Amino acid sequence: MNTANLKRVAPRARTAFITAIKARAAEFGITAKGHIEPVTSGEVLQVAGFTHPASCASALKRLQQQLANDSYETLIEHVAYTWFNRFCAIRFMELKSEEGYLEHGVRLLSHPSQPQGFEVLDRAPEVIESLITEGVSLDKPALLDLLLAGNEQETLFRELLLGQCHRLHQTMPFLFEAIDDETELLLPTGLTRTDAFWRELVDKIPELDWQQVEVIGWLYQFYISEKKDQVIGKVVKSADIPAATQLFTPNWIVQYLVQNSVGRHWLQTYPESTLKSAMPYYIDQDEQASEVVAQLSELTSASIEPESIHVLDPACGSGHILVEAYNVLYRIYEERGYRSREIPVLILKNNLFGLDIDDRAAQLAGFALIMRARQDDRRLFSRNNGCGIDLNIYSLQESRHLNIQKLWQALNLNADAQHGQTQDLLTVARATDDPRLTLLKDLHQRFLNVKTLGSLISISTEQVSAIEELYTTIQELSKNGDNMQRPESKKLLPLLAQARLLAKRYDAVIANPPYMGSKGMNAELKEFAKKQFPNSKSDLFAIFIERNLDLTKESGVVAMITMQSWMFLSSYESLRTRILNQHTILSMTHLGARGFDSIGGEVVSTTAFVLGNFHLSSYQGTYLRLVDGNSEAEKAAMFKAAIA
């Protein structure tokens, strides 16, 4: 994959998407100066000198409300991100059309034999029929009229593109929002032009580079690179933390981290497993003293059920680490004799967990996992009745917009207990003393600033059962509650879903955490770090070392790549003391500079390591020094030579 080319294309795409969406927003009277109120007359809506169907009114109203809550630039950035993600997802899937990733098997954004052509226009009738069959509401006669007209290709293409988005909403609602979503309103015009805002994604990126799903992560990394350049070296606002801190991890390092955490977990219990032969970056532990062998035996489970292995990436970005964890877990399930068609959904539902503060990155992580699972199960979508698979990947959401007391009243969870009773003061008092309400209030307070603090927010393991029970109750109400309970319960689900993940403890926590020194932290983050993580407060990556250890089971492991400074600087002496006195370094690969040269990371000096969340004072860890390698590829080759 030519990452240098992706690095050129993605920033230009960002500019093109933003420019086109600003132009489209202006057609609805939305500009940096505010918005112009539309005038609706019959079937027509007029605003800023443009005429639109009156059916646009409700979506336009929602956009205006967003503009009242967010800045114009934030709104445009959000919509641009959304459409960039959608176009990338469709491009990836259409190039696997022969494998049925899109049900109709037709390309939307290109043509297999005509440069800058559209196969979807050549085969429009069958695409229309396929989308309707798959449950998408389309006006078939009207679309066929557009086709017959011969000069309405732009309109027809737009409707088929939106129809495809609606179909994908059924399987990936986290990436393709619902029908009539306001982002559709801002889909720019001129979609079929040879200089359309999205064309470089097709024209400038070779089809071969789209074969691996990690291309999506690379594109997003480079898409936000200009934003990163704007904020780096400054005190970073909460909204800019993702751009300032994200760094895509080279694949061989991801394999090292995953294979020596998830793979190790399995091999400790099953040392004769064939899994080892499929893990080229796995490090066999050195011969250990008899007392260490005995201690390890006490920490090792006598047996493991594959469904019980829980893996977390607390800053998952676009899902690179989770996809590699999927690969290892798949082989574990295979070894245990599970049917191949069952394995993908089992992994997605039971094993993999991811959190991020970046909405767009979490969407792409979900997409990457779905695509990886689809590779192993051609009927993944149809097996699930065309509906989305519930992933354990969440973009952390702030709670400040929730009125817990009002929501609690609407949920009416004490209805059975109150049935037939007079609503006296005692009854009301009992309702307000309900431990479930207390829990909701506690979670509401904890997640007020989660877009700043992210996975660093701590939830006590003592709350696990209560959170799980309440989550199950609220989830049931969101589907089968009354007319008041259903919409209100849906507002609470994100709060409880993310709390579930932060209250759990994991067999393996794997991360390339955010990098940000204290000088870049805003006042809130800096104060939080000072109070909660005094040993590692100097940089976010170091704070995440401690946080990840806290998220891990007592016999579990943490695998990370971080900046190397925590190994040497006096400001991290207390962190080093904690690691050496309370945990165990199982292996460490000191990369030094140029470990990330595919993204211009020569200035980032790093180290990758695996820590046991247990203390074995006599354990002989494996240490590899690769600082003399002059490139990412050279370091990978040195690693393989060292463990051969």
What distance in Å separates the CA atoms of residue 403 and residue 401, rounded to the nearest whole number?
7
Is residue 61 one of the residues assigned to a domain?
yes
Is residue 290 one of the residues assigned to a domain?
no
What distance in Å separates the CA atoms of residue 60 and residue 65, rounded to the nearest whole number?
9
Nearest to 632 by CA among 592, 586, 587, 597: 597
- C-beta separation of 360 from 81 below 8 A: yes
What distance in Å separates the CA atoms of residue 128 and residue 612, rounded to the nearest whole number?
55
Task: Write down the pLDDT at residue 417.
Answer: 39
Decide which of 503, 534, 550 is a domain's last residue: 503
Task: Write down the pLDDT at residue 246.
Answer: 63
Task: Write down the pLDDT at residue 12.
Answer: 94
The secondary structure of 565-583 as a DSSP string is GGGT-GGGHHHHHHHHHHS
What distance in Å separates the CA atoms of residue 624 and residue 185, rounded to the nearest whole number?
54
Decide which of 503, 536, 552 is a domain's last residue: 503
What is the enclosing helix (H) or strand (E) of 395? strand 393-395
Is residue 15 one of the residues assigned to a domain?
yes
- Please identify every stretch of the chain with a pLDDT value under 70, giving residue numbers as ranges: 179-180, 228-234, 240, 242-248, 383-388, 415-432, 597-603
Strands (E), 512-641: 552-563, 584-592, 606-612, 622-625
Instruction: Return the SS3 of 524.
Output: helix
Radius of gyration, CA atoms only, the chain = 26
Task: Write down the pLDDT at residue 421.
Answer: 44
Is residue 310 one of the residues assigned to a domain?
no
Is residue 259 one of the residues assigned to a domain?
no
pLDDT in tens, 80-134: 989 999 999 999 999 987 788 898 999 999 999 998 899 999 999 999 999 998 8
Task: Write down the pLDDT at residue 426.
Answer: 47
What distance in Å separates the CA atoms of residue 316 and residue 247, rounded to the nearest whole number?
11
What distance in Å separates the CA atoms of residue 195 and residue 173, rounded to the nearest whole number?
30
- To 10 degrees, what angle do helices 632-643 and 251-259 make? 30
pLDDT in tens, 343-367: 999 999 999 999 999 988 899 999 9
Nearest to 311 by CA among 251, 360, 260: 260
247 Cβ neighbours under 8 A, 6+ residues apart: 221, 512, 515, 596, 599, 601, 604
Neighbours of 6 (CB within 10 A): 22
Task: Write down the pLDDT at residue 380.
Answer: 83
Strands (E), 251-335: 311-313
What distance in Å separates the CA atoms of residue 632 and residue 628, rounded to the nearest whole number?
11
Neighbours of 73 (CB within 10 A): 11
What distance in Å separates the CA atoms of residue 253 and residue 598, rounded to the nearest whole number?
13
CA 38 to chain centre: 37
CA 179 to chain centre: 22
- C-beta separation of 197 from 17 below 8 A: yes
Is residue 529 one of the residues assigned to a domain?
no
Confidence (pTM): 0.90
Q: What are phi and psi of 386, to 5 degrees?
A: 75, 5
What distance in Å separates the CA atoms of residue 465 and residue 610, rounded to the nearest whole number?
30
Q: Which residues of 233-252 are buried (b: 16+ CB within 10 A; e: fewer)?
A: eeebebebbbbbbbbbbbbb
CA 99 to chain centre: 25
Decide which of 166, 182, 211 is a domain's last residue: 211
Is residue 281 one of the residues assigned to a domain?
no
Count CA within 13 A, CB hemisphere, residue 639.
24
- C-beta separation of 398 from 450 below 8 A: yes
Is residue 426 one of the residues assigned to a domain?
yes
Task: Write down the pLDDT at residue 425.
Answer: 46
Neighbours of 183 (CB within 10 A): 20
What is the enclosing helix (H) or strand (E) of 46? strand 44-47
Domain extent, residue 8, equals 3-211
pLDDT in tens, 410-446: 898 876 434 444 455 445 545 567 899 999 999 999 9
> How many domains is the chain partitioned into structurally?
2
What is the enclosing helix (H) or strand (E) of 30? strand 30-31
For 457, the token pair is: 């927010």
471 Cβ neighbours under 8 A, 6+ residues apart: 493, 496, 497, 499, 500
Nearest to 370 by CA among 338, 348, 340, 352: 348
What distance in Å separates the CA atoms of residue 513 and residue 561, rounded to the nearest whole number?
8
What distance in Å separates the CA atoms of residue 64 and residue 555, rounded to the nearest whole number?
52
- Provide the greatest CA pair distance for the chain: 86
